[in-house]
Amino acid sequence: MFKMENASQKLKRIYTKLFANPYIIFLLAFIILALPSLIRGFDIHGQESYFYYRISNYVISNEVPSYDFLSFGGRAFLYNMGSILFLVLFNLLLKISIINLLVFIPIILGFLSLLLFYSILEKFKVTRTTLSFICYLFILSPAFFYSFTHFTSFTIPLFLNLLGFYFIIKEKKIFHYLAFFVYLILSFFEFIHILFALIIIFFYLWKNKKLNRFIPYSVIILLIIYLNNNFVHFGISIINYNFYEYFSILGGEYGLSIFLVFMSFFGMVYLWKKKYKNALYYLFFMFSIVMLILNIKYIVYTTLILSVLGAYGLKYLYQLKWDSIIIKDITVIILIVGVIFSGVLFLVNSSERDPNSGVYNALIFIEDNTNPRDVILSHEKYGIYINSISSRKNFVDINKAYAPRSELRFYYLEKIFYDKDLSNTLKIFEEFKINYIFITPEMKNSLLWTNRNQGLLYLIDRNPEYFRLIYNQDGVEVWRVL
């Protein structure tokens, strides 16, 4: 019995050593980052990638526009220029196509971001096992998948935030100058990114009693105000979101893992063992929750925080005295498997082409068979594809912030999709000059409707004098408004 116990402990040490091996962590990260592109092909993927493809190519061919003629039927050009300028500069300097930049930058920056995160945690003297758990929780999070399996608005600023903070915690002055330069660049991105940077710098310097070093970074705030007034027009972008969007398992695009949130709760319990000695951590965490409520995009940075808390929460649960060792082991296993499952689920979804070939071919048909001034109505998740692939105006898309009459448009969109009153629908079509309707299989199968006796589907099927079907392939329909 004693020999069996020794063998078991020895085996456990071997697995722990293997699990904590940084090479294993980085190998897994590289597989996660590269696998979606290997499966779906090395091409543009997702709404945000197509958005940056369209705008970057426009800037290269012309200049930075003051007006976007395609989004929401036409709107002022009030987008953040950080990612766009990055793509344009790399294209002009390195002669790398925008498509290749959009495909390979996420993989490269995702790997480098994990390397920086790992190095930062090492600087804080986190034990090897806990550090490994933190990294695994991060790379298996929906936020990591969303940021680095394709190009999004998080891809570059998340990397820059980690890079800047890595320079901050280094001792040599040259790194502090480099950090300041990185954060100056970060000011060209959405305000939420630089806000996280300034918050974490402030709390870090406060904890280490070096608040005087924060003064130079306050200059960045003045730069943001100047950019905001003259070029970018950005802010916290407070937009109403549904509760389910905060959690990936409930359908959130890059939401939190419920299992990670559960572990993080016990991470806070672990910190509470030192009571008010960890008061700064509690304050930092509470501030982050407030920011998350104001802007769902802060969820990416919340994931970084929860990855750390989650690892300590798992450690706390494992070290806690349980009445039953079996129940303890089962609980820990369920949490770990849950995190892995949510990560794998997101990985599978990321590996599917978006848009798929049926949707893409229909959008090419629209480009070839409609007038450049025509407005195409569809669900908001297809709006950017209508702009970028068809080069046509959409009615709405996912870029709601600062869009003209966006609340009114979404109100009317709801009425169009679900109202069976033909006269009301035609009035809205006339007011917004809607010329075509773009319908996908997803819209017909639970995204909007479940059968053809509902809302807009009911109207277009029964009123041929007002609607004509001009395209119907692979379940994708294009209707002309007569």
- pLDDT exceeds 60 at position 252: no
Same domain, 365 and 337: no
Same domain, 156 and 232: yes
Total domain count, the chain:
2
164-168 contacts at long range (C-beta below 8 A, 24 or more positions apart): 164/197, 165/120, 165/197, 165/200, 165/201, 165/204, 166/116, 166/119, 166/120, 168/201, 168/204
Same domain, 124 and 13: yes
**Model pLDDT, residue 425:** 94
Instruction: Please calculate the CA angle 145-238-47 and round it to the nearest 5 degrees.
Output: 40
Q: Is the link from the previous residue into 372 a cis peptide, with omega within 30 of 0?
A: no
**Model pLDDT, residue 361:** 96
Which residues are paired to 376 by β-bridges? 394, 436
Percent of the chain with pLDDT over 70: 90
Same domain, 331 and 362: no
Lowest mean pLDDT among 242-246, 254-258, 391-395, 419-423: 242-246
Cβ(25)–Cβ(136) under 8 Å?
yes
**Model pLDDT, residue 27:** 93
* Domain hosting residue 461, numbered range: 357-481
Question: Which one is predicted more confidently, 2 or 223?
Answer: 223
Kindly state the average pLDDT of the residues 211-219.
79
Percent of the chain with pLDDT over 90: 49
Give the list of residues 6+ apart from residue 254 with CB closer than 8 angstroms, or none. Answer: 142, 143, 145, 146, 147, 248, 299, 300
**Model pLDDT, residue 194:** 84
Flag whether 446 is in a domain: yes
Same domain, 195 and 326: yes
Same domain, 340 and 380: no
- pLDDT exceeds 90 at position 319: no
Question: Which one is predicted more confidently, 217 or 339?
Answer: 339
**Model pLDDT, residue 99:** 95
Where is mean pLDDT largest: 19-23, 76-80, 204-208, 444-448? 444-448
Same domain, 369 and 392: yes
End-to-end CA distance of the chain: 84
Distance, CA of 111 to CA of 58 (rounded, Å): 29
Same domain, 93 and 130: yes
Of 98, 51, 89, the closest CA to residue 70 belongs to 51
**Model pLDDT, residue 238:** 52
* Res. 385 pLDDT band, cuts 50 70 90: very high
**Model pLDDT, residue 368:** 95
Give the list of residues 6+ apart from residue 99 with CB closer than 8 angstroms, or none. Answer: 43, 44, 53
Distance, CA of 186 to CA of 356 (rounded, Å): 33
Q: Which domain-ending residue is among 350, 372, 405?
A: 350
**Model pLDDT, residue 243:** 64
Lowest mean pLDDT among 131-135, 236-240, 413-417: 236-240
The amino acid present at 404, given as its one-letter code, is P
Distance, CA of 409 to CA of 402 (rounded, Å): 13
**Model pLDDT, residue 418:** 94
Same domain, 333 and 373: no
The predicted-structure confidence for 130-184, as pLDDT tens digits, reads as follows: 899 999 999 999 889 989 999 999 999 999 999 999 999 988 889 988 998 898 8
Question: Diameter of the chain by CA atoms?
Answer: 86
Kindly state the average pLDDT of the residues 440-456.
93
The alpha-carbon radius of gyration of the chain (Å, integer) is 25
355 φ, ψ to 5°?
-80, 155
CB atoms within 10 A of CB 68: 20
Where is mean pLDDT largest: 25-29, 321-325, 331-335? 25-29
* Res. 240 pLDDT band, cuts 50 70 90: low
The predicted-structure confidence for 418-437, as pLDDT tens digits, reads as follows: 999 999 999 999 999 999 99
Question: Which one is predicted more confidently, 169 or 9?
Answer: 169
Flag whether 374 is in a domain: yes
Instruction: Please calculate the CA angle 103-66-160 and round it to the nearest 5 degrees.
Output: 40
Q: Which domain-ending residue is among 305, 322, 350?
A: 350
Q: Across all residues in the chain, what is the average pLDDT?
A: 86
Kindly state the average pLDDT of the residues 463-475.
95
Flag whether 164 is in a domain: yes
**Model pLDDT, residue 1:** 45
Same domain, 171 and 301: yes
* Res. 2 pLDDT band, cuts 50 70 90: very low
* Res. 65 pLDDT band, cuts 50 70 90: confident
The predicted-structure confidence for 179-214, as pLDDT tens digits, reads as follows: 988 988 888 888 888 888 888 988 888 888 888 888
The predicted-structure confidence for 23-63, as pLDDT tens digits, reads as follows: 899 999 999 999 999 988 888 999 999 999 999 999 998 88
Kindly report the CATH number assigned to the domain that includes residue 404: 3.40.50.12610
Assigned token pair, 193:
């990114």
Same domain, 323 and 447: no
- pLDDT exceeds 70 at position 94: yes
Kindly state the average pLDDT of the residues 458-475.
95
Same domain, 123 and 234: yes
**Model pLDDT, residue 3:** 47
Q: What is the 3-state secondary structure (H, E, C) of the chain?
A: CHHHHHHHHHHHHHHHHHHCCHHHHHHHHHHHHHHHHHHHCCCCCCHHHHHHHHHHHHHHHCCCCCEECCHHHCEECCCCCHHHHHHHHHHHHHCCCHHHHHHHHHHHHHHHHHHHHHHHHHHCCCCHHHHHHHHHHHHCCHHHHHHHCCCCCCHHHHHHHHHHHHHHCCCCHHHHHHHHHHHHHHCCCCHHHHHHHHHHHHHHHHHCCCHHHHHHHHHHHHHHHHHHHHCCCCCCCCCCCCHHHHEHHHCCCCCECHHHHHHHHHHHHHHHCCHHHHHHHHHHHHHHHHHHHHCHHHHHHHHHHHHHHHHHHHHHHHHCCCCCHHHHHHHHHHHHHHHHHHHHHHHHHHCCCCCCHHHHHHHHHHHHHCCCCCEEECCHHHHHHHHHCCCCEECCCCCCCCCCCHHHHHHHHHHHHHCCCHHHHHHHHHHCCEEEEEECHHHHHHHCCCCCCCHHHHHHHHCCCCEEEEEEECCEEEEEEC
Distance, CA of 9 to CA of 32 (rounded, Å): 31
* Res. 13 pLDDT band, cuts 50 70 90: low
Q: Which domain-ending residue is among 350, 378, 400?
A: 350
Kindly state the average pLDDT of the residues 433-460.
94
Flag whether 73 is in a domain: no
Flag whether 140 is in a domain: yes
The predicted-structure confidence for 361-373, as pLDDT tens digits, reads as follows: 999 999 999 999 9
* Res. 237 pLDDT band, cuts 50 70 90: low
Question: Which one is predicted more confidently, 389 or 20?
Answer: 389
